[in-house]
Amino acid sequence: MLLVVAGLACQEVGASIAVLLFPDTGPLGMVMLRLVFSALILLLVARPSVRGHGRAEWVAVVRFGLVLALMNGVFYLALERLPLGVTVTIEVLGPLALSIVASRRASAWVWAALALAGVAALAGGGWDRLDLLGVAFALVAAAAWALYIVASARVGAAFPRLDGLALAMAVGALASIPFGIADAGAALLRPEILGLGAAVALLSSTLPYALELIALRRLAASAFAILMSLAPATASIAGFMLLGQHLSWLEVAGIALVIAASVGAVRAAGRHARDAAEPVG
């Protein structure tokens, strides 16, 4: 549990630093720096073997890497236009939808309705306060996060230690390079930008993803999902403390509703799984 909470804290601090670098690198330039440095760190630490893996395992790695690149890209594009807490709250709808589908119960739609009320409240009484393109990017990030959960579990089961993550991060880094160069340009040659990019990579990608993979091997998936539901709260705190992003009480209430819906949906999915596992008669 502590590994997951620490990963969340690192991720939001890293995202806050990334926002401060947007004027120099642009969001896609920051994504490239984040993924490239994360891949280099993980490849040095894990030293993954490229032998002894079948075609299905390599396909899983490539898919995971492309999902990582997509998820990070659209998240930062949303972050350029929306507050950190709002962006993460919309993004967490992906795992929430996954939990609702997994529960296969009509009661799960109660949590869906609660989440919908929370998203409506995020506008603080008017959607004109939110950039609609930013909301669209955040919704794509939500879908990508759901795909990330599925892809991460497959790669974690197929590869030992952090090997699969390191290889997938390398794939994601390669995919991000053309977009990053086009967005950041000459800023990528500045030593201070490279240093801060490495720090963002360590905080936002390397540490959180590694901690999550380790936690998933020791923690029930339902408990992990509940802890991940706290991401909007940690993002809002980081946005307020590090970026000076103030939220209205209605927006705070919306974030709280989404968190409550996420926790409720995960618990409902867990109960359904336990009931299905019980013998009949």
| Token pair of 50 as six digits | 């490229």
- One digit per residue, the tens of pLDDT, for the chain of length 281 reads 788 778 888 888 888 899 999 999 999 999 999 999 989 988 998 888 877 777 888 899 999 999 999 999 999 999 999 888 788 888 877 877 776 776 666 666 777 777 777 777 765 545 556 788 998 999 999 999 888 888 888 887 778 777 888 899 999 999 999 999 999 988 998 999 999 999 998 888 778 877 877 777 776 666 676 677 777 778 877 888 888 877 777 777 877 887 787 777 666 655 555 554 454 44
Both tokens assigned to 65: 């890497």
For the entire predicted model, the pTM comes to 0.80
- DSSP string computed for 70-88: HHHHHHHHHHTTS-HHHHH
The CA distances from residue 150 to 63, 68, 193, in Å, are 10, 12, 33
Give the model's pLDDT for residue 161: 73
Q: Which amino acid is at 24?
A: D
248: left (phi over 0), alpha (psi -120 to 50) or beta: beta
Distance between CA atoms of residues 155 and 59, nearest Å: 10
The pLDDT, as a whole number, for residue 108 is: 67
**Cα–Cα distance, 59 to 231 (Å, whole number):** 29
List the alpha helices (DSSP H) in the chain: 2-46, 55-79, 84-91, 93-103, 108-122, 132-158, 163-184, 191-201, 207-216, 221-228, 231-243, 249-277
Distance separating alpha carbons of residues 281 and 154, to the nearest angstrom: 34
